[in-house]
Amino acid sequence: MLRAVFSRSLPRVKVVSACHYSAAAIPAPSTQPEIHFNKVDVDKAVKAARDAFRLGSPWRRMDASQRGLLLSRLADAIERDSAYLAELETLDNGKPYAVSYTVDLPTVVKCLRYYAGWADKWEGKTIPIDGDYFCYTRHEPIGVCGQIIPWNFPLLMQAWKLGPALATGNTVVMKVAEQTPLTALYVANLIKEVGFPDGVVNILPGMGPSAGAAIAGHMDVDKVAFTGSTEVGHLIQQASGNSNLKKVTLELGGKSPNIILSDAKMEEAVEQAHFALFFNQGQCCCAGSRTYVQADIYDEFLERSAERAKKRVVGNPFDLKTEQGPQVDEEQFNKILGYISSGKKEGAKLMCGGSAAADKGYFIQPTVFGNVQDNMTIAREEIFGPVMQILKFKTLEEVVERANDSKYGLAAAVFTKDIDKANYIANALRAGTVWINCYDVFGAQAPFGGYKASGNGRELGEYGLDNYTEVKTVTMKVPQKNS
């Protein structure tokens, strides 16, 4: 039972032509009550998903390798339609088309293909237990999984969620972000096209406080996976405690430290640090938003970073020369400007940028602050915008302590040529991913997730399967055990 909302929103999409694009062309969700799903719809979806999961259903009886084949076909279908999907993604989210098409879409396809491969390889064990018993584990699906995804990488977040959940045999009720529902809904159609049985995947566009809360608090949803802000992450975990103790995994915010040592290759470090912060309009959970630069190279680094930021091309996302599009909506736009204002007020040195970049749409100038202190708001809170903080440090021990002094722990990086320093820092940082001499390097094969308030559980890689598995131990009496 898939939502047919897509056909209702499509006419609106066709009207907007690329050359007249601005983020304002897509009306804010609050003015579109007819695509607003709530608890009643969630109940319908959960019922469909539960039915698709019953013992003896086509989905439960299907060979694991066949589940993998369906995921593979979905990847093929997305690849086939990737030019269209990239366009829709850019229209809805504002990210440059060149990036949607060359980064987001291929990564989505690879993620689904990766998990397609796991479906029939996720093996339990047979176990040499004491006594005359034959003991083994089964890796079973959890059941009906609620999945709530954000607006910063709509298609990619959908793939990160569907891949492991479907490979392991669960059924899904997914709520997509109200800011960016369109591409996920198109994929829903592809899911039907490639042949997933009815009820296995259900996709609901809607708002957090209504549809999202309904999922998190639902008595018949066995697990919820949420990617979004730490603030809402708290609510999800509470909702689970208040309802049926459903399993919870969270991918939340970050204030990731990017540590540049004095022996780093300057040009490369500057460019990578720039990319680490400004990619996706600064709207990354793992954005390198505290750039710690060793004292000897601090002045030069600051200047070069400002230079680079001034050169960053902001404009129409459908223009292939554009590096940075608009922020996703007015709320984010205002929030970021508010942070910039606090930076100025609290005494950070504004090197460049600092205000809106245009009168229409939600464009913000690439902004760089120098002389940032650890206790400033812009150094502690997640901005989620194109605002770079550069801080000075002297010693390794000091920077490790300062980097770890955060409620977050999603990612981190260190730039250095020295093998011992690299190992020391990589080991010491309390972060789920540490990059050495690179940033934002992801692979479907490599687990990703947060320490502390950046979340719990890991997505991607083999580890990603754990979150979607119930382990059943079966112990059978035998007449006489032999090794």
Answer for which of 1, 69, 350, 436 binds another protein (CB under 8 A) is 69
**420 touches another protein by CB under 8 A:** yes
**62 touches another protein by CB under 8 A:** no
Quote the tokens at residue 423. 């190992």
Beta-carbon neighbour count of residue 58 at 10 Å? Answer: 12
**480 touches another protein by CB under 8 A:** yes
Binders of another protein in range 122-161 (CB under 8 A)? 123, 134
Q: Single out the residue of 221, 115, 202, 103 nearest to residue 152, CA to CA.
A: 103
Chain-centroid distance of CA 15 in Å reads: 30
Q: Which residues contact 232 (CB under 8 A, 6 or more apart)?
A: 208, 212, 226
Q: Which stretch binds another protein (CB under 8 A): 24-32, 52-60, 65-73, 205-213?
A: 65-73
| Total residues interacting with another protein, rule: CB under 8 A | 32
Q: Do residues 50 and 128 touch, judged by C-beta distance below 8 A? A: no
Q: Is 251 an annotated catalytic residue?
A: yes
Q: Which of 87, 89, 178, 251 is catalytic?
A: 251
Q: Single out the residue of 261, 308, 251, 295 nearest to residue 413, CA to CA.
A: 261
Nearer Cβ to another protein (30/427): 427
CA dist 173 and 147 (Å) reads 6
**121 touches another protein by CB under 8 A:** yes
Answer for which of 120, 263, 374, 470 binds another protein (CB under 8 A) is 120
CA dist 337 and 436 (Å) reads 31
Q: State the Rg of the chain over Cα.
A: 23
Quick one: residue 94, left, alpha or beta (phi over 0 = left, psi -120 to 50 = alpha)?
Answer: left
Question: Which residue matches tokens 């829903």?
Answer: 188
CA dist 247 and 222 (Å) reads 7
Instruction: State the nearest-atom distance from the C-beta of 257 to another protein, in Å.
Output: 18
Answer for which of 424, 436, 466, 470 binds another protein (CB under 8 A) is 424
Helices H / strands E in the chain, number of each = 18, 16
Q: Which stretch binds another protein (CB under 8 A): 88-96, 324-332, 368-376, 441-449?
A: 441-449
CA dist 286 and 448 (Å) reads 10
Q: Which long-range contacts (CB under 8 A, 24 or more apart) does 228-235 make?
A: 228/148, 228/149, 228/150, 228/252, 229/253, 229/382, 230/382, 230/407, 230/408, 230/453, 230/454, 232/208, 233/453, 233/455
Nearer Cβ to another protein (120/374): 120
Answer for which of 9, 72, 371, 377 binds another protein (CB under 8 A) is 72
Nearer Cβ to another protein (123/231): 123
CA dist 480 and 387 (Å) reads 68
Q: Single out the residue of 104, 435, 448 nearest to residue 251, CA to CA.
A: 448
Answer for which of 113, 161, 290, 308 binds another protein (CB under 8 A) is 113
**79 touches another protein by CB under 8 A:** no
**110 touches another protein by CB under 8 A:** yes
Answer for which of 68, 96, 385, 457 binds another protein (CB under 8 A) is 68
**163 touches another protein by CB under 8 A:** no
**419 touches another protein by CB under 8 A:** yes
Chain-centroid distance of CA 85 in Å reads: 18
Instruction: State the nearest-atom distance from the C-beta of 113 to another protein, in Å.
Output: 7
Instruction: State the nearest-atom distance from the C-beta of 119 to another protein, in Å.
Output: 8
CA dist 424 and 7 (Å) reads 54
Q: Do residues 122 and 463 touch, judged by C-beta distance below 8 A? A: no
**476 touches another protein by CB under 8 A:** yes
Answer for which of 444, 454, 460, 469 binds another protein (CB under 8 A) is 444
Q: Which stretch binds another protein (CB under 8 A): 3-11, 60-68, 249-257, 467-475?
A: 60-68
**475 touches another protein by CB under 8 A:** no
Nearer Cβ to another protein (27/479): 479
Answer for which of 65, 238, 395, 475 binds another protein (CB under 8 A) is 65
Instruction: State the nearest-atom distance from the C-beta of 473 to another protein, in Å.
Output: 17
Instruction: State the nearest-atom distance from the C-beta of 475 to another protein, in Å.
Output: 12
Nearer Cβ to another protein (111/348): 111
Nearer Cβ to another protein (19/419): 419
Between the alpha carbon of residue 318 and those of residues 12, 109, 186, 321, the distances in Å are 18, 22, 20, 9
**445 touches another protein by CB under 8 A:** yes
**34 touches another protein by CB under 8 A:** no
CA dist 462 and 448 (Å) reads 11
Answer for which of 118, 186, 301, 408 binds another protein (CB under 8 A) is 118
**116 touches another protein by CB under 8 A:** yes
Active site residues: 251
Q: Residues interacting with another protein, by CB under 8 A?
A: 64-65, 68-69, 72, 110, 113-114, 116-121, 123, 134, 419-420, 423-424, 427-428, 443-445, 462, 476, 478-482
